[in-house]
Amino acid sequence: MPIQYYIALASALFCIGVVGVLTRRNAIIIFMCIELMLNAVNLLLVAFSKMPFNIAETGASNASAGADAQLFVFFIMVVAAAEVSVGLAIIVMMYRNVHSVDINFLNRLKN
């Protein structure tokens, strides 16, 4: 399969994530959309690690060339996990105070 397919898939997932973040009003769903974006990136990175897009340009053709990208994926996962824990904590805190996770409630600061 050519790399373009992967790029297209990852971009599609990413776009779904972005659109979700921008349009949805539920904090949890926004959060899920962000995760979707991150996973799209993971997918893309893994794809690139095995199939360098432009070998002629970079000269990276040896077998271990893609290792750094795979490593990156792990880092993203770890960091995403950390973010999830903090983020969920914040959402829970919010929920305790207003009994809702709808971000339309978030307009107290406007005035």
Partner 1 sequence: MICSIIVRNKGSFRHIAAFGLLILLIANILETYGKDFFHVNTMQLLQFDRFGFLFNSIALGATLIYVLLTGKEIEKSGKYAAEYFTLIFFVLCGIFILSAYDNLLMLFLGIEIMSIPLYILTGSDKRNLKSNEAALKYFLMGAFSTGLMLMGIALMYGGTGTFQLEVQRISVGMYKGVSFLEITGLLFLMVAMAFKVSAAPFHFWTPDVYDGAPAVFTSFMATIVKAAAFVAFIKLCDVRMTATLGAIDWKLLFALIIVFTLLIGNITAVFQQSVKRMLAYSSIAQAGFMLFALFNVNDVAKEGLLLYTAAYSLATIGIFAILVKMKDYTFEGYNGLAKTQPVLAATNTVFLLSLAGIPLTAGFFAKYYMLAAVVKTGSYIWLVVVGVLFAAVSVYYYFRVIQAMYFRNGNAATETITFSFKTGLIILAAIIILIGILPQVLLNWFYF
* Contact status: 9 vs partner 1 (CB under 8 A): no
Size of the site for partner 1 (CB under 8 A): 51
Contacts of 101 (CB under 8 A, 6+ apart): 26, 27, 28, 91, 94, 95
Contacts of 40 (CB under 8 A, 6+ apart): 10, 11, 12, 13, 14, 17
**Distance of closest approach, residue 41 Cβ to partner 1, in angstroms:** 4
Per the DSSP assignment, residues forming a β-bridge with 26 are 102
Q: Do the Cβ atoms of 16 and 36 come closer than 8 Å?
A: yes
Q: Do the Cβ atoms of 43 and 30 come closer than 8 Å?
A: no
Q: Which is nearer to partner 1, 1 or 110 (CB)?
A: 110
- Considering only residues 11 to 70 of the shown chain, the ones binding partner 1 according to CB under 8 A are 14, 17-18, 21, 27, 30-31, 34, 37-38, 40-41, 44-45, 48, 52-60, 65, 68-69
The binding site for partner 1 (CB under 8 A) comprises 7, 10, 14, 17-18, 21, 27, 30-31, 34, 37-38, 40-41, 44-45, 48, 52-60, 65, 68-69, 71-72, 75-76, 79, 82-83, 86-87, 89-91, 93-94, 97-98, 103, 105-106, 108-110
